[in-house]
Amino acid sequence: MLALEFPPINELLRWQDIFPTFNKVALIAVLATLVTSVTFLIAARQDGLKAPRGVRNLAETIVEFIEDQIIMPTMGKHGLGWTPFLLSLFMFIYLCNLPGILPFFQFPATARIAIPLFLSLLVWVIFIGVGFKHQGFSYLKNSLFPPGVPGPLYILVAPIEFISTFLVRPFSLTVRLFANMLAGHILLVTFALLTHELIQSDTIALKPVAILPFFMLLFLTAFEVLVGFLQAYIFTILAAVYIGGAAHPDH
Amino acid sequence: MEAFSILAALTGDEAKAASAASSAGFAYGLAAIGPGIGIGYLVGKSVEAMARQPEAAGMVRTTMFLGIAFTEALALIGFVVFILIGL
């Protein structure tokens, strides 16, 4: 009846090279970088004293979002110096997620683990660096031996703190972004395939049924817009929390 | 039950592939239970907090997203395992 066969995972993720060592994923990453830089460079050329318009309006909205929604609740006023880094992190991840639903791209670049892995290693290096810069070697002491724990329990607490701070953090940052985008992509592929197969089926009675997976596909596309934004937001806010926590230890 | 008797009749590589597929399904299904309950409870409580104290809504929302991010990680690790052993 239906010749429905789900393609192997490699077929969903592997793209032919546009030219050697450069495929669609790389193209999306390069475009995300270019779009971000060009947008903010154009916005920066306008006179800041006049009322903002056009691109600058958009850029100011994004910067305000980063400052008010991400930095202020997690790092406070001291963290405002981190706006440029967190802004570029947010924009890059968001613009890598967005092509998952854009026609002709149809693939979120963050669904290949290399990009999330690199970004979270970057955040990892930065928050450890910030910790050593602000607290010196007592950063290790502060993060491995949190205050307020009865003495003998430190045998138990120190290894757990070490694993959760230095090993699990980059891992979970990577896997959260990667798996969310990959799952979204596979869901879209599943329902697109189902719609296609039902429309093409030989049985006439099955053709109208294709409307059901099609509506699911529409719904999931809208859902992916939300997920792409939310994952960029969560990645950035976690980076802010980690950096803020390394700069100022808990008392 | 029929599925299980078909599974039992398979041999060698086929049996391996079939058991990998079914255990991948089980793995992801089990991994989704805990985070499902956790996120439901977390968001429910956050909505309650926001309704009681609307002026604290911004702070509650930020904390809620942080909590969701940590809770969800377990389900996502389950999803990665599902892909590694199932496909």
Quick check: A8 contacting B, CB < 8 Å?
A: yes
Domain boundaries in chain A?
9-247
Q: Does domain B2-86 have CATH number 3.40.30.10?
A: no
Chain A closest-CA separation from residue B37 CA (Å) = 18
pLDDT for A99: 92
- Mean pLDDT computed over every residue of chain A: 88
Say whether residue A167 is in contact with chain B using an 8 A CB cutoff.
no
Find the distance separating the first CA and the last CA of chain B, reported in whole Å.
24
Determine the residue of chain B that is closest to A113 in CA distance: B80
pLDDT band for A250, please (50, 70, 90 cuts): low
Cβ neighbours of B85 in A, within 8 Å: none
Check if A179 contacts B (Cβ < 8 Å).
yes
Say if CB A239 and CB A86 are below 8 A apart: yes
**From the CA of A68, how many Å to the nearest CA of chain B?**
10
Is A71 within 8 Å of chain B by CB? no
Q: Is A15 left (phi over 0), alpha (psi -120 to 50) or beta?
A: beta
pLDDT higher at A193 or B84:
A193
- B83 vs A176: CB contact, 8 Å cut-off? no
Angle between helices A169-200 and A114-135 (to 10 degrees): 160
The rounded distance, in Å, linking the Cα atoms of B59 and B83 is 36
Per-residue burial over A123-140, b = 16 or more CB atoms within 10 Å of its CB, e = otherwise: bbebbbebbeeebeeebb
Residue A166 exposed, middle or buried by CB count within 10 Å (0-12, 13-18, 19+): middle
ipTM for the predicted complex = 0.72
- Contact, B42 vs B68, CB < 8 A? yes
Residue with tokens 């990892």: A124
Q: Does B43 touch chain A (CB under 8 A)?
A: no
| pLDDT at residue A168 greater than cutoff 70 | yes
The residues near A36 (Cβ < 8 Å, ≥ 6 apart) are A88, A91, A92, A95
Summarize the confidence of residues A118-133 as an average pLDDT.
94
Give the model confidence (pLDDT) of A14-28 as tens digits.
777 778 888 888 899
Specify whether the CB–CB gap between A22 and A90 falls below 8 A. Answer: no
Rounded to whole angstroms, the Cα distance separating A19 from A35 reads: 22
In the 8-state DSSP scheme, what is residue A136? T
Mind telling me how many Å the CA of B78 is from chain A's nearest CA? Answer: 10
* Of A108, A123, A69, residue with least CA distance to A233: A69
pLDDT at residue A173 is higher than 60: yes
